[in-house]
């Protein structure tokens, strides 16, 4: 299927480029366990991809935790800082982004993570992330609202020098998909297997891994084996 040609690409990071979502799950369970609570995908599906404080407020209320959202985030950040340097690329992520870089296609990262946590996640992959023309983190002073608001994607497009309709966004989270669509961009989603694919129906494509993505569907140069 031939689609409207795309000239710029924007990526989420957690659960899309890097395998970090398991760290969030394990760390959050360790925080809520002393209160006799269990953190599973029935809760995580409402939090994934959202701004940290927004997610924390949801969790504290949903699990009726005797701590504030800020206290939860303080505990979580300390534990995540130990885990994030272990992050590895998800299947197909590095190959796809390197391919587009080699063809001169501008690419950006737009992550809800703070710049501090982003640095930890990518510290063993600095050469890879230097390939991106623009990095926008959730604590950027120009990002007024977190996903599902479109702010972070609109800012990334602006810094790439692109119009929204020229941009293709890769996401794994419903809130990220909503943010991309609200920005007037096309979106390809690669959901976690634990997520209900039904919530991703508004996306233009739903994939199992980035290996399945066929660039020529979007007017982009295909990978060598496609």
- Return per-residue pLDDT of the chain as tens, 226 residues: 445 679 999 999 999 999 999 999 999 999 999 999 999 999 999 998 888 899 999 999 999 999 999 999 999 999 999 999 999 999 999 999 999 999 999 999 999 999 999 999 999 999 999 999 999 999 999 999 999 999 999 999 999 999 999 999 999 999 999 999 999 999 999 999 989 999 999 999 999 999 999 999 999 999 988 6
The model's pTM is: 0.90
Which residue of the set 12, 140, 151, 172 is catalytic?
Answer: 12
- Residue in 14, 140, 151, 172 annotated catalytic: 14
- Domain extents in the chain: 8-19+87-218, 21-85
CATH topology of domain 8-19+87-218: Rossmann fold (3.40.50)
Instruction: Please say whether the structural domain 21-85 has been given the CATH code 1.10.150.240.
Output: yes
Helix (H, G, I), strand (E, B) or coil at 123: coil
Is 12 tagged catalytic? yes
The angle subtended at Cα 204 by Cα 168 and Cα 96, nearest 5°, is: 45
């Amino acid at each position: 299927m031939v689609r409207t040609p795309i000239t710029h690409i924007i990526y989420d990071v957690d659960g899309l480029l890097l395998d970090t979502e398991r760290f969030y799950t394990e760390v959050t369970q360790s925080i809520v366990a002393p209160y006799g609570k269990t953190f599973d995908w029935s809760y995580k599906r409402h939090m994934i991809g959202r701004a940290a404080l927004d997610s924390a407020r949801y969790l504290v209320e949903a699990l009726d935790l005797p701590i504030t959202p800020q206290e939860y985030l303080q505990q979580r950040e300390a534990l995540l800082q130990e885990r994030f340097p272990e992050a590895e690329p998800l299947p197909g992520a590095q190959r796809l982004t390197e391919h587009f870089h080699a063809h001169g296609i501008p690419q950006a990262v737009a992550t809800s993570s703070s710049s501090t946590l982003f640095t930890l996640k990518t510290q063993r992959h600095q050469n890879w992330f230097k390939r991106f023309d623009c990095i926008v983190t959730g604590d950027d002073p120009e990002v007024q609202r977190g996903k599902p608001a479109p702010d972070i994607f609109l800012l990334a497009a602006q810094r790439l020098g692109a119009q929204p309709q020229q941009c293709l966004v890769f996401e794994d989270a419903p809130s990220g998909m909503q943010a991309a669509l609200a920005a007037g961009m096309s979106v390809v989603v690669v959901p976690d297997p634990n997520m209900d694919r039904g919530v991703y129906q508004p996306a233009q494509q739903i994939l199992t891994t980035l290996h399945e993505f066929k660039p020529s569907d979007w007017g982009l140069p295909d990978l060598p084996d496609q």
